[in-house]
Amino acid sequence: MTVRFSFFQSAARALGLAGESFDDTLRDVLARDISADSPRQRFADVSDDFWFWALTEGCRTHEELHALLPAMPPEEIQLRFTGAAGDVTLREAFSFYLLVRDLMRAHLRRPLESALDYGCGWGRIIRFFLRDVEPANLAGIDCFPQMIELCQATNRWARFTQVDPFPPTMYADESFDLIYAFSVFSHLSEHAHFEWLKEFKRLLRPGGLLIVTTRAREFILMCADMRAQQEQRFWTHGPAASFRDTEDALARYDRGEFLYEPIGGGDVLDPSFFGETCIPLGYVRTHWTRLFELVDYIDDRQVCVQNVIAVRKT
């Protein structure tokens, strides 16, 4: 836990910046003579603090950075898909990015050369990987056509492709060192999540990592609280309709069962595969290890807002 906490602290420092000057670093970055249109070549050695600042306040206040880094989609899109907008939603994305980097340093058995963002949405997380991966090897996929169009319009470096709700994808075997998904396996049905696990095993190189998040046990209690308080915010409708028998759901979670409520998500997100999902450690140990080696399961809100599952292809 010591290593994880240090990264959480690093994220907190970067996310709490106010008025810090990066003038010297900015001048150095802008003066670099690079041979390709590659954010990685220009930003690979900058600090975490500068990197977060560059993608937030820096892009807003310096035209040179605005031209070099991804833009943000309309605020209403941000709110619809993440429940927040602007620096607030990027803070959560940056914290997850740092956690993934922590897990890679501990468990990836090769230098990171390629990565896939599954369920990339409007691209809030993938932008942070531009300093780690060359654009040709950084990919995002989503089943929402609108999200892919937004990513292509706001991030001209990474590759974005629309996929069907179920695999296969268009990628060749063993294409990626890392596949990650934030708040996607927190919504997939048991059948859908297994189909994607098999696809990700195909896509990962030997020793590659899959890192995903899922709902925690306390989410079941949160659903009950939302019903009791008759929450009306749009993002609470799904949780409020989920796990109505609280005690039974908690007991099932503690037995290591897969919990899924088929509530759907609108548009292409059909209830047959999309809803609210909790995947306990017991289930991962019993079922995921048929395909992967379990390297970590994190259930700590100081580290991530959801539980984190990290597995490796052997």
Classify burial at 161, counting beta carbons within 10 Å of its beta carbon; exposed 0-12, middle 13-18, buried 19 or more: middle
Tell me: do 209 and 239 sit in the same domain: no
Residue 274 in contact with residue 261, Cβ under 8 Å? Answer: no
Report the domain count for the chain.
Answer: 2
Do 52 and 143 lie in one domain? The reply is yes
CA distance 111 to 203: 17
Mean local confidence (pLDDT), 209-223: 97
Model confidence band, residue 58 (pLDDT cutoffs 50, 70, 90): very high
Q: Judge if 139 and 238 occupy the same domain.
A: no
Do 241 and 138 fall within a single domain?
no
Instruction: Note whether 266 and 187 are within 8 A (CB).
Output: no
Report the pLDDT value the prediction gives residue 234, as an integer from 0 to 100. 62
Task: Specify whether 83 is located in the same domain as 130.
Answer: yes
DSSP the chain: -HHHHHHHHHHHHHHT--S---HHHHHHHHH---SSS-HHHHHTTS-HHHHHHIIIIIHHH-HHHHHHSPPPPPHHHHHHHHS--THHHHHHHHHHHHHHHHHHHHH-SS----EEEET-TTSTTGGGGGGTS-GGGEEEEES-HHHHHHHHHH-SSSEEEE--SSS--SPPTT-EEEEEESSSTTTB-HHHHHHHHHHHHHHEEEEEEEEEEEB-HHHHHHHHHHHHHT--SGGGHHHHTS--SHHHHHHHHHTT--EEE----BTTB-TTTBSEEE--HHHHHHHGGGTSEEEEEE--TTT-SSEEEEEE--
pLDDT at 266: 85
Cα separation, 141 vs 148, in Å, equals 7
Whether residue 40 sits in one domain with residue 170:
yes
My answer on whether 74 and 26 are in the same domain is yes
The whole-model pTM stands at 0.93
Instruction: Give the confidence band of 223 by pLDDT, cuts at 50, 70, 90.
Output: very high
Domain identity same for 250 and 224: yes
CATH number reported for the structural domain that contains residue 57 in this entry:
3.40.50.150
Contact 141, 117 (CB under 8 A): yes
Domain with 261 in it: 217-278
- Do 151 and 235 have their domain in common? no
pLDDT 10s digits, 62-102: 999 999 999 999 999 999 888 899 999 999 999 999 999 99
Half-sphere exposure of residue 233, counting CA atoms within 13 Å on the CB side?
A: 10
In the numeric block, which tokens belong to residue 197? 């696990």
254 and 197 in a common domain: no
Buried b (16+ CB within 10 A) or exposed e, 222-256: bbbebbeeeeeeeebebbbebbeeeeebbebbeee
103 and 246 housed in the same domain: no
Write out pLDDT tens, residues 283-305.
999 999 999 999 999 999 999 99
Q: Is the pLDDT of residue 202 over 60?
A: yes
Q: How big is the CA angle at 96 (ends 165 and 13), to the nearest 5 degrees?
A: 160
Do 173 and 303 lie in a common domain?
yes
